[in-house]
Structure 1
């Protein structure tokens, strides 16, 4: 029997706009872009120039620190331009896609051993899917992880259920598990206690753990914290179940196809549903057809941890959601004083607690400006780690590296503070604070 873990602290946002439980359509685009900013800590070195022809799987740029880490093109076509910012910083490599896709052929089949598996993943660019903890960066191929954690859950708001994304891709997932199993002596697969997909519940070659409870029960950090907490000097590698499918497809066909099942969700979408999409796709033409009229914020990712993109922007590299919610406009006179059933509140300030099953059309309003960073006890109600969030965040604020280590900084990534941001009465950008602090910690410790 798999181990069962119950997460009691957390919060499921009651937000409207969930996708239908069927894959219906594909996000088609003629232009794709890969942005170095999607890869935490990576310093890009260009491998192409404008006008070059590339196949899907050809290298666009490498990491200056470790050139073995390659970021490859998701599509075949012509490099249309290299977008740059201040001091010629590389912002994006834009590829004009062919109508018929061609792939760089890599070796198919499961590698023979760990060394071959790592070299194969590095050569194809698929190593970009392997994340390391601590710090939440692309893994160091020379490290020896004590375990590899595969996240087979999706508890973020408006996400696609794993069973939906896995349908028809079971063979690729099984082959991907074989590849991942070569990377460490211990492979942990985390699934929901209510999961019914046989590809997950009957997966072979893995240590199966079940989780139940509100979000963030489905996040990798919670799984690591519950199953094998990180100590200083220890490393684990992590992947998402959809990334395992991509690895399996690479092993089966020799094609590195960066296609995922995407939750097209939120009240700004005319028809919320699941679709397939290739990483880096241009969103402009697609959103012109799918987005309702009005002022909506488009988010590549979830409402909690995603990246705001323009309607002429691109899907981010790791995204498995594309969300559109209303922009919060104007102010409400005495908004928190007047009783209302139409607004949602974490506390009992408003009457939403009387209708716990009701969903709301949540928007981007912050409902207040930055305030003093004070102790309230609210973070602890949604932060299910054996860590004190407020002291850790204050250590991050002060850039006290020694205190950060003592308080558990190695066990968290910025996304773990998303719910703390939701309930924060001080309106602080806690994920940004955590990212900057962890970047500093990484720089000082490496």
Structure 2
């Protein structure tokens, strides 16, 4: 029987534009891209291809010189049309023009008996060379895991509570066999347990209901109840010198596909969301797809912000930009590049605020869905301690003191106040409710890097 944890802290940002439970086809995506910036901590990328090269799905195109064993591979077959660099020749994107028919590099297939008999070392080497290893993220620090490390446990979260987050039941429909195979492989990578976190307030998706060999914990509560960092904190907290690994359910299924089918399969279902799209639906594509095909002709107006991922933690991209390696949704909201004189003082039911003094009318309509833009309605100012950060963080840490320790570069206090337990997404809600308008997520990453490289 699964354990139930009821979280009382948090806040749901209810936006208009949630994807309908249907999968729709859009015009074929012509180009795909791998962005080294998606891999946090990658400082020395080595490109293995050049413009004009032809690749198959699974062809190595990139690796980090600090971890040469781990290959990042092409998501589809086609021609490398651009290796885009920025200032100081920083690698930004490797673009691939897709073939009409996708072809694959053929890797070794494993039967169920083969998986049971294979050693950890063999499984790890296969995953690293075939391109699925980057799906495994290390905590602390939120970086791609080192294959040579040994985590005390592995965590998978089977639901997402970010604004307009997709339903994993839709993303993984029909992939029960691959998800279970991925679980069997992950179990061999740790001496501890594989944990699966589920939403205790909703019916469990089929893909998770049939999963065996994992320890299931259910959570109820507002966002960030679906964050894997919250699950780790309440089930197996990280102390200095310890580490756990986390894997998104898509990554688990992708690992299973590699071993059962012998190919690197980057096909995925994503959600197209936001108040500014005409048709908020799910669609099937491949990792790294250009979003132009999904937004062209599908916008209610032209002055919008396109975000790869969710509006709290996602990345702003151009309309012809590419969806991030770890993202499963596109969010389109109104652009907020305007000034509103004393706008925060006007009582209205059209603005959502966590603070009752600033958004009283929004509390009268708890189930209302809002059309919010990217305007911050203020600039950075003195760091006011209000206690609100703690009220939206369902973890036994003190976010304000932690952030101040980061700003002061006090290493001892950072460690004592929980820097090993958080990454940007865990305190992203603090940035939303912060009346002082501080870049909380940037501060968290600064603190992580100070500790990581000290």
So what's the TM-score if we normalise by structure 2? Answer: 0.95
Structure 1 residue 260: deviation in Å?
A: 2.2
- 1:252-271 CA-partner distances (Å, limit 9, x unpaired): 21111122221110011110
Post-superposition offset of 1:26: 5.6
- Contact 2:175-2:207 at 8 Å conserved across structures: no
- Aligned residues of 1:72 and 1:125 also touching (Cα < 8 A): yes
Paired residues in the alignment total 444
Length-normalised TM-score, structure 1: 0.97
User: Cα deviation per residue 1:297-356 (whole Å; 9 max; x = unaligned)?
Assistant: 000000110000001211111111101000114333332333222222211223111111
Selected match of 1:425 from 422, 435, 448: 435
Residues 361-381 of structure 1, C-alpha deviations (whole Å, 9 max, x = no match): 011110111111121111111
- My pick for the range that moved more, 406-415 or 190-199, is 190-199
The equivalent residue for 1:251 is 259
The two structures, once aligned, show a CA RMSD in angstroms of 1.4
Q: Which runs of 4+ in 1 moved over 6 A?
A: none
Q: For 1:354-373, list aligned pairs within 5 A.
A: 354-373=364-383
Q: Which residue pairs with 1:437 in the alignment? A: 447
Name the structure 2 match of 1:314. 322
Quote the Cα distance in structure 2 between the aligned partners of 1:443 and 1:248. Answer: 34
Please say if residues 130 and 264 of structure 2, whose CA atoms lie closer than 8 Å, have aligned partners that are also in contact. Answer: yes
Shift of 1:63: 0.7
| Kept in 2: contact 1:27–1:277 (CA 8 A) | no
What corresponds to 1:392 in structure 2?
402
Q: In 2, distance between residues paired with 1:51 and 1:330? A: 43
Greater shift, 406-415 or 159-168, is seen at 159-168
Task: Measure, in 2, the Cα distance between the counterparts of 1:137 and 1:49.
Answer: 26
List per-residue Cα deviations over 1:404-435 (Å, max 9, x = no partner).
11111000011111100000001111111111
Question: What residue ranges of structure 1 are gaps of 5+ in the alignment?
Answer: none
Q: Give the conservation status (yes or no) of the 8 Å contact 1:152–1:241.
A: yes
Measure how far apart 1:81 and its partner are: 1.6
Q: CA deviation at 1:222?
A: 0.3
Cα drift, residue 101 of structure 1: 0.6
Distance 1:407 1:61, change over 3 A: same
Residue 124 (str. 1) matches residue 148 (str. 2): no
Question: Which structure 2 residue ranges, 5 or more long, are not aligned?
Answer: none
Partner of 1:6: 6
Pair 283,149 (structure 1): closer, same or farther in 2 beyond 3 Å = same
Q: Find the partner of 1:326 among 310, 334, 338.
A: 334
Question: In the TM superposition, what are the counterparts of 1:242-321 in structure 2 within 5 Å?
Answer: 242-321=250-329
**2:168 aligned with 1:158, yes or no?**
no
Deviations 1:21-68 (A, max 9, x none): 222236731111111100001120111111111111111111111101
Q: For 2:344 and 2:128, how far apart are their aligned partners in 1?
A: 53
